[in-house]
Chain A
Amino acid sequence: MRHKAPLIDALLGLIAGVGLVALYAPLLATAAISFFQVVRVRGALGFAPFSLDPYAALLANGEILAALATSLVVAAVASIAALGLALMFAFYFVSARRGLGLAMQTMVFLPFLLPPIITGLSLLIAFREIDLGRGLVTIIIAHIVFIVPVVYRTVLVRLQLLGSSLTEASLDLGASRVQTLRYVILPQMRPALISGVLLAFAISFDETLITLFVAGSQTTLPIRLWAMMRVGFVPEINALATLILLFTAVITFAIGMLQRAGERA
């Protein structure tokens, strides 16, 4: 039985409300300013009327669009490749001897757990040692290295939840290992596969620090934005931030829905 304490309830509600405002106000302000630009009218600050000019400017900004395209390509390629690797690692973990599996798992997690500056630097040194010039390929490799753990974790949890009885049932009914994987295991894991890829995509999309080390002349969106902010503020940044916000919100929502679907299955 819950005690009735209206004062404490109200206080907790207030704290939660202030917390939420503090978290979301800057985001909402950015979105608002992308439609109503801040202008200086006779020395005082004010809002310009509603306009989509920043969005138009964004579409006309070739550099930003190129960076955006790079980011999307990197995130897409890296997250699909990471999915394949994560699946192999997860299957290895559930079938290998415990000690070997744990050793493999530690190696998979390490690049994600290390400070990004160390991971980035190590990758840079490694690429130089093997004479791999910095560019799209190095960015993609670096992203795969640090998003594999995320996908691996999601995939492994689901795989362990599945247990061995479905595999045994499938083999018992005459299916081969490959058929079992195709008809039983992968379909049962689909929610985990999709949410793992989406999560990896989101992380890859806004990764900055490691990418800084391994990107050559080809820049991703976060790096482009960071570079732009150093030289001055342009309105299209607000528009871009708002679009990314919207995009991320949709992905997060989708991951949430998929994970709930996965739990129900």
Chain B
Amino acid sequence: MQPLLHLENISKRYGAVRVLEGIDITVAGNEFLTILGPSGSGKTTILRIIGGFESIDGGRLMFEGRDLAAVPINRRPFNTVFQDYALFHHMTVAENVGYGLKVRGRPRAEIATRVAEVMETVGLAAFGGRYPAQLSGGQRQRVALARAIICEPRLILLDEPLSALDVELRAQMQRFLKSLQRRLGIAFVFITHDQEEAIALSDRIIVVNGGRIEQEGAPEQLYRRPHTPFTAAFLGENNLIAGTLAAVDGPLCAVDTPAGRLAATVDGPAPPTGSAVLVAVRPEHVRLDAAPMPGEGLTADVADVRFLGANVMIELRHAALPGALLKVRRLADGSAAGLVAGQRVGLSWSAGDAALLRAGPAPAAL
């Protein structure tokens, strides 16, 4: 099936600085796609290229098989929700929402009806006569959304729209965005640096870093099967232990690390034995035993036990892994109660929970 939107091998530079390289993204007609990356990763530039605010230096931007290169911003069938909302402060909320129809020369009566409908959709029916300055942050957000959806775009671009909201309102807006996208049945391309937000909202996530795509997939797939050290460290928490690939048996791998031989699972074809790899294990997948098990996992010394509400995070050190702090997450149900700093314990995990990654450049500090 032809995708709604296809970014084909797009590159972009500012002067001598490459900001995007080999970006290839497809967007299906009704998916919630998130582009996730740290600040400076180029994710906003991708959004601005789709919207038409930035030119491209290489590649093609195709919409239903048509090249958008010559289509100006105001002719593209997309609408944007800007990070700062960019509401028109001299217009009322209703005038803001109706702007897209007004500039298209629609009759007044039709605009009034559509504005009322859309305001109802975003839950602002009573606010049409107010000015943006009289609204709260969350309400302005809804106005920005209403203003974008009234034009019936095929795709909505959202540039970190929730970053200015406080935690509770953000969770509420996340649910609202998700349900709105389902109801409208159109594609949302959502930009964020917040991995939890990306996991909670998206049908599919594209992780970008340093102007390149690191990995893409469904949230659960990315979380369970990261392919790169960056993805492993950026989505949730991960223990990354460097080593050399010693043996491969189907998806099962044995990795020699300074802390001993560890088991891991490789997703896809394995790298040749002898190559530098990383073993990635989630803190919640590590088993903790009072006594080390012979021949399995590794032993480490408890460095700190931190109570985090529902969870307890146990941080451990291993003499052969200097500088690395191993993390184990446990439910705060009393099972970790006896642990004290300095205690030696055994750590182990199922091979299926440990991902084998090709060692790339060191993950960015988070």
Residues of A within 8 A of B (CB): 165-166, 168-176, 179, 183-184, 187-188, 190, 265
Of B80, B99, B148, which is within 8 A of A183 by CB? B99
* Cα distance, A187 to B78, chains bound together (Å): 26
Q: 9 A-B pairs, CB-CB below 8 angstroms?
A: A165-B86, A168-B53, A168-B82, A168-B86, A170-B88, A171-B73, A172-B79, A176-B74, A183-B88
Nearest A residue to B150 via CB reads A173
Min CB distance, B55 to chain A, in Å?
Answer: 14
Min CB distance, A176 to chain B, in Å?
Answer: 6
**Besides A172-B51, A174-B104, A183-B102, 15 new A-B residue pairs in contact (Cβ under 8 A), listed by A number:** A165-B82, A166-B88, A168-B53, A171-B74, A172-B73, A172-B80, A173-B74, A174-B75, A175-B99, A176-B103, A179-B103, A183-B103, A187-B90, A188-B88, A188-B89
Return chain A residues, CB-CB under 8 Å to B72.
171
Residues of B within 8 A of A (CB): 51, 53, 72-75, 78-80, 82, 84, 86-90, 99-100, 102-104, 147-148, 151
Return chain A residues, CB-CB under 8 Å to B82.
165, 168-169
Min CB distance, B62 to chain A, in Å?
Answer: 20
Return chain B residues, CB-CB under 8 Å to A170.
88, 99, 103
Nearest A residue to B103 via CB reads A175
Min CB distance, B191 to chain A, in Å?
Answer: 15
Min CB distance, A258 to chain B, in Å?
Answer: 14
Return chain B residues, CB-CB under 8 Å to A169.
80, 82, 86-88
* Cα distance, A184 to B267, chains bound together (Å): 53
Main secondary structure of the interface of A (DSSP, over half): helix
Nearest B residue to A177 via CB reads B74
Return chain B residues, CB-CB under 8 Å to A165.
82, 84, 86
* Cα distance, A184 to B102, chains bound together (Å): 13
Of A174, A188, A190, which is within 8 A of B103 by CB? A174
Return chain B residues, CB-CB under 8 Å to A176.
74, 103
Asked whether, in the complex, the Cβ of B74 is within 8 Å of the Cβ of A265, the reply is no
Asked whether, in the complex, the Cβ of A173 is within 8 Å of the Cβ of B90, the reply is no
Asked whether, in the complex, the Cβ of B74 is within 8 Å of the Cβ of A188, the reply is no
* Cα distance, A183 to B96, chains bound together (Å): 11
Of B73, B78, B80, B90, which is within 8 A of A188 by CB? B90
Return chain A residues, CB-CB under 8 Å to B87.
169
* Cα distance, A225 to B94, chains bound together (Å): 55
Asked whether, in the complex, the Cβ of B73 is within 8 Å of the Cβ of A168, the reply is yes
Return chain A residues, CB-CB under 8 Å to B73.
168, 171-172
Given contacts A187-B90, A265-B89, contact A173 B84 (CB under 8 A): no
Given contacts A168-B53, A179-B103, contact A174 B74 (CB under 8 A): yes
Min CB distance, A167 to chain B, in Å?
Answer: 9
Of B74, B88, B104, B147, which is within 8 A of A184 by CB? B88
* Cα distance, A265 to B87, chains bound together (Å): 12
* Cα distance, A173 to B72, chains bound together (Å): 12
Of A166, A172, A183, A190, which is within 8 A of B74 by CB? A172
Return chain B residues, CB-CB under 8 Å to A174.
74-75, 100, 103-104, 151
* Cα distance, A265 to B91, chains bound together (Å): 11
Asked whether, in the complex, the Cβ of B103 is within 8 Å of the Cβ of A173, the reply is yes
Nearest B residue to A187 via CB reads B90
Min CB distance, A130 to chain B, in Å?
Answer: 42
Min CB distance, A263 to chain B, in Å?
Answer: 13
Min CB distance, A161 to chain B, in Å?
Answer: 12
Asked whether, in the complex, the Cβ of A173 is within 8 Å of the Cβ of B100, the reply is yes
* Cα distance, A172 to B50, chains bound together (Å): 11
Return chain B residues, CB-CB under 8 Å to A168.
51, 53, 73, 80, 82, 86
Return chain A residues, CB-CB under 8 Å to B148.
173
Nearest B residue to A184 via CB reads B88
Asked whether, in the complex, the Cβ of B151 is within 8 Å of the Cβ of A173, the reply is yes
Min CB distance, B32 to chain A, in Å?
Answer: 20
Return chain B residues, CB-CB under 8 Å to A188.
88-90
- Counting chain A CB atoms within 10 Å of each CB, the highest count among B99, B100, B102 belongs to B99
* Cα distance, A265 to B133, chains bound together (Å): 9
* Cα distance, A174 to B78, chains bound together (Å): 9
* Cα distance, A172 to B54, chains bound together (Å): 13
Return chain A residues, CB-CB under 8 Å to B90.
187-188, 190, 265
Return chain B residues, CB-CB under 8 Å to A190.
90
Min CB distance, A159 to chain B, in Å?
Answer: 15
Ordered nearest first, which 3 A-B pairs have the shortest CB separation? A169-B86, A175-B103, A173-B100
Return chain A residues, CB-CB under 8 Å to B79.
172-173
